[in-house]
Amino acid sequence: MARETDLLRLATAGSVDDGKSTLIGRLLFDSKTLFVDQLAAVERVSRERGHDYTDLALLTDGLRAEREQGITIDVAYRFFATPKRRFIIADTPGHIQYTRNMVTGASTADVAVLLLDARRGITEQSRRHAFIASLLGVPHILLCVNKMDLVDWSEDAFESIREEFVEFATRLRVRDLSFIPISALHGDNVVTQSKNMPWYDGLPLLRHLERLYVASDRNLVDVRFPVQYVIRPQSHSVRDYRGYAGTVGSGVLKPGDPVMVLPSGLETTIETIETADGPVEEAFPPMAVTVTLADHLDISRGDMLCRPHNMPTVAQEIDAQVCWMDESAPMAKGGKYAIKHTTRWARALVRDIAYRIDVNTLHRIEGIDELALNEIGRVQLRTTQPLFVDTYQDNRQTGAFILVDERSNKTVGAGVIGRATVAA
Amino acid sequence: MIPSALRPERSERDPLKSHVLSNLRSLEAESIFIFREVAAEMARPCLLFSGGKDSTVMLAIARKAFAPAPIPFPIMHVDTGLNFPEVLAYRDRWVKDLGLKLIVASVPDAIERGIVQEEPNGSRNRIQTPVLLEAVEQNGFDCLFGGARRDEEKARAKERVFSFRDEFGQWDPKNQRPELWSLYNGRVHKGQSIRVFPLSNWTELDIWTYIAAEKVEIADLYFAAEREVISRDGMLYMVNEFTPRKDGESSERKTVRYRTIGDANLTAAVESDADTLDKIVAEIAAVRVTERGATRGDDRVSETSMEDRKREGYF
């Protein structure tokens, strides 16, 4: 039974032309996750539309507008499992006008699976996808060179793409980069080893995903415990109980550990770490626990527990890369937004927009006053309350924030905090 | 004690898996986080409870999220008047055991008051939506928890964990809030609301593995037993007041169980010998037809029937 399995989150990017839907359909089908009635429905609709093949894109394109236009608009979440692992796929559209959707999918991904067509080689789109994956701190990037059948299974074709991409990736922050030559249509190197490419001595895609070592991607060093909710039962049986509920952002917490509470700076020690199933000896990410402390301190939601000698930066000036997601209005210098960082809300003023990044060429475009939909740029914010931040590179939990429009309440921006954060 | 399937991996077992949570533990932790986030940020949340396995798992996890304090929000049951009687008894047991406040939004009552009209095909799937929305308005709820999962249906695969609804309770799939990391945005103006799906990332198999590992008490109808059934359009319906034998139909005794529990006039049983949780888990792991395809007459209507119903305010 599925007792030992863990959970791997992957984001896929690529266009329909790259064969992405075929690849996902094959992963689902070959791992026996695609159900017979789902397949029958897709076959029926394909026939009704006069396709002479089963259009597996119909599986993932679930919305009426997507089916009508034949494009993927939004992130779709798909699930499959093997005896070794459970997978969550955030399947994102590839086109530049959906950059925000790829940013969304990549924000929680352990691995980004980027797909390109062996005949076309590296395009602007593949560069953009790799840049977004690296910006969002996805620890592993897997480049699948698809349609190898159409280049006669040529090792030279694969090698030249690999060399060109490695060269490009030196300009990005990529921790782990792998390449797999595949044919999604024929199933080569998807689940089983290809017989057509004996020169490839790596693992097929699914085996690679099953074995990917992700434990060290988690930050187990810097203790960051954002207080999410204070549990104070008003009953006689547990009088005086005060538990701080939250999800471990990073680091490992143990009873007896000294902790510092932010923003007060007061120090105490962890008394117990509790769950509804009983106390635990340690808590690590992403466990949801309740911490009790040795001293009665005034602590509320939005506060953070850390170690006395390993604190995040307490900052009201934030330097970040922001992806703008609002189609109704650009982010403008001087604009004010609500900001959510860990479990803390504040207001933020856009003090400056230093430059925008051309996501295809990675060039910086300076002298701008606003960021439009899908644009990514470097901005300086000032917040009304101090936030307890780390750089996104060090910590995906305390290095990320969203911006919310205060009139419409829509989520309009996503930010990753850079190194130049100024202490308050 | 923590059941073994949920206990964090210990380093002596596999050093590479030290400090790695199991799949079920990760999913449970994510759901707990979502419950707490809502309790902290929303003014008046409420949990939709149908008596089915998914809403039962929701309730079991909600209890864990706030222990040792009680669950800090009421639960609501939209009573279509077409419930299996076993499910109502089961619902009332949970309410009593956890000391919950139960709100019942009654469809038969709404029909009597002229709020909605019975549809010709007898399905109350569509007309329960206005009844739900009326109850939300009367109680001033700004957030409803639902047990929907993304693996159930393709429109649901695109829905956010925090799903915004306008003043009419409508879902606009083209205008959803981006949802990044675990930074959920539940901000609404008065009259608007958020539907929250804590089990978004669970699959049917996860639900059953969890129920088995945690020994969550579920409705008896999920277990195989010999029941009197009629076969209609290839589906097996239990003979009862909701699906009586029609003229010319013959019934027979078969060993069946329910994979989903919805309205008694629409939910079909499946042939199965799975009369224990372990057998159910094994059956679900091997099954090749989706639960809705196997058991729901209502979802076969069109390619986009779920999307259409959700736009109107359905879950």
Residues facing A270 on adjacent strands = A293
pTM given for the model: 0.92
Lowest mean pLDDT among A12-16, A81-85, A366-370: A12-16
Token pair listed for A261 = 């509470």
Sign of CA dihedral A22, A27, A28, A30: positive
Q: Which pLDDT score is estimated for A265? A: 96
Chain B residue closest in CA terms to A65? B174
Residue of A44, A72, A79, A234 to mutate when probing chain B, most B C-beta within 10 A: A79
pLDDT over 70, % of chain B: 88
Residue contact A232–B200, C-beta within 8 A: no
> Mean pLDDT throughout A3-32?
79
State how far the Cα of A190 lies from the Cα of A199, in Å rounded to an integer: 16
Give the nearest partner residue to B29 out of A81, A247, A277, using CB atoms: A247
A137-189 pLDDT, tens digit per residue, is 999 999 999 999 999 999 999 999 999 999 999 888 888 999 999 998 888 99
B12 band by pLDDT with thresholds 50, 70 and 90: very low
At residue B285, the pLDDT reads: 84
> Which residues of chain B neighbour A67 with C-beta distances below 8 Å?
303-304
Could you write out the three-class secondary structure of chain A?
CCCCCEEEEEEEECCHHHCHHHHHHHHHHHCCCCCHHHHHHHHHHHHHCCCCCCCCHHHHCCCHHHHHHCCCCCCEEEEEECCCEEEEEEEECCCHHHHHHHHHHHHCCCEEEEEEECCCCCCHHHHHHHHHHHHCCCCEEEEEEECHHHHCCCHHHHHHHHHHHHHHHCCCCCCEEEEEECECCCCECCCECCCCCCCCCCCCHHHHHHHCCCHHHCCCCCCEEECCEEECCCCCCCCCCCEEEEECCECCECCCCEEEEECCCCEEEEEEEEECCEECCCECCCCEEEEEECCCCCCCCCCEEEECCECCEEEEEEEEEEEECCCCCCEECCCEEEEEECCEEEEEEEEEEEEEECCCCCCEEECCCEECCCCEEEEEEEEEEEEEECCCCCCCCCCEEEEECCCCCCEEEEEEECCCCEEC
Closest residue, chain B, to A414 (C-alpha): B180
Structure tokens at B95: 């309410």
Contact across the interface for B185 and A411, Cβ inside 8 Å: yes
**Alpha helices of B113-222 — where are they, by DSSP H?**
128-139, 204-214
Interface residue A420 vs chain B (CB under 8 A) = no
Contact across the interface for A101 and B178, Cβ inside 8 Å: yes
- What is the pLDDT, as a whole number, of residue B11? 39
Among candidates A214, A280, A288 on the partner chain, residue whose Cβ is nearest the Cβ of B32: A288
Residue of A nearest to B64 (CA): A276
Residue of A nearest to B62 (CA): A276
pLDDT, one tens digit per residue, over B275-295 is 999 999 999 888 777 776 666
Which chain B residue shows the shortest CA-CA distance from A42? B303
Give B186's contacts in chain A (Cβ within 8 Å): none
Between chain A and chain B, the number of residue pairs with CB atoms below 8 A apart is: 210
What is the average pLDDT across A101-111?
Answer: 92
Whether the per-residue pLDDT at B14 is higher than 60: the answer is no
Of A61-70, A207-216, A286-295, B296-305, where does the model show the most confidence? A286-295
Question: Bridge-partner residues for A7, per DSSP?
Answer: A86
Give the nearest chain B residue to A342 (CA atoms). Answer: B183
Using a CB-CB distance cutoff of 8 angstroms, which residues of chain B are in contact with residue A396?
181
In tens, the pLDDT along A290-314 reads 999 999 999 999 999 999 999 999 9
pLDDT digits (tens, 9 = 90+) for A187-238: 899 989 999 999 999 999 999 999 998 878 889 999 999 999 999 987 777 7
Q: Do A86 and B23 touch (CB under 8 A)?
A: yes
Residue of A nearest to B14 (CA): A4
- Quote the CA–CA distance of A391 and B139 in Å, as a whole number: 43
**Would an 8 Å CB–CB cutoff place A397 in contact with chain B?**
yes
Contact B22 A74 (CB under 8 A): no
- Checking if the pLDDT of A57 tops 70, the result is no
- Chain A residues close to B205, C-beta within 8 Å: 2, 81
Is A20's pLDDT higher than 70?
A: yes
Contacts 24+ apart (CB under 8 A), A235-241: A235/B69, A237/B68, A238/B68, A241/A292, A241/B68
Q: What is the pLDDT of residues B110-126, one digit of tens each?
A: 899 988 888 887 788 88
A215 touches chain B (CB under 8 A): yes
- Tens digit of each residue's pLDDT (9 = 90 or more) over B37-77: 999 999 999 999 999 999 999 999 999 999 999 999 999 99
Q: Which of A64, A78, A245 sits opposite B157 (nearest CB)?
A: A78
Closest-CA residue of B relative to A98 is B178
Min Cα–Cα distance to chain A from B267, Å: 17
Q: Taking 60 as the threshold, does the pLDDT of residue A3 lie above it?
A: no
Q: What percent of chain A has pLDDT over 90?
A: 67
Q: What is the pLDDT of residues B210-220, one digit of tens each?
A: 999 999 999 99
| Residue of A61, A136, A402 for testing the chain B interface, max B β-carbons within 10 Å | A402
Residues A384-403: pLDDT tens digits? 999 999 999 999 999 999 99
A36/B289 Cβ within 8 A: yes
- A225 reaches B (C-beta below 8 A): no
The answer to whether the Cβ–Cβ distance between A63 and B281 falls below 8 Å is no
- Closest partner residue to B158 (CB to CB) among A63, A220, A245 is A63
Assembly ipTM: 0.92
> What percentage of chain A carries pLDDT values higher than 70?
91
Predicted confidence band at B192 (pLDDT cuts at 50, 70, 90)? very high
Does the beta carbon of B190 lie under 8 angstroms from any beta carbon of chain A? no
Mean pLDDT of chain A: 89
Is A215's CB within 8 Å of B16's CB? yes
Note the pLDDT of residue A49.
Answer: 76
Q: pLDDT category, B10, cuts 50, 70, 90? A: very low
- Whether B99 contacts chain A with CB within 8 A: no
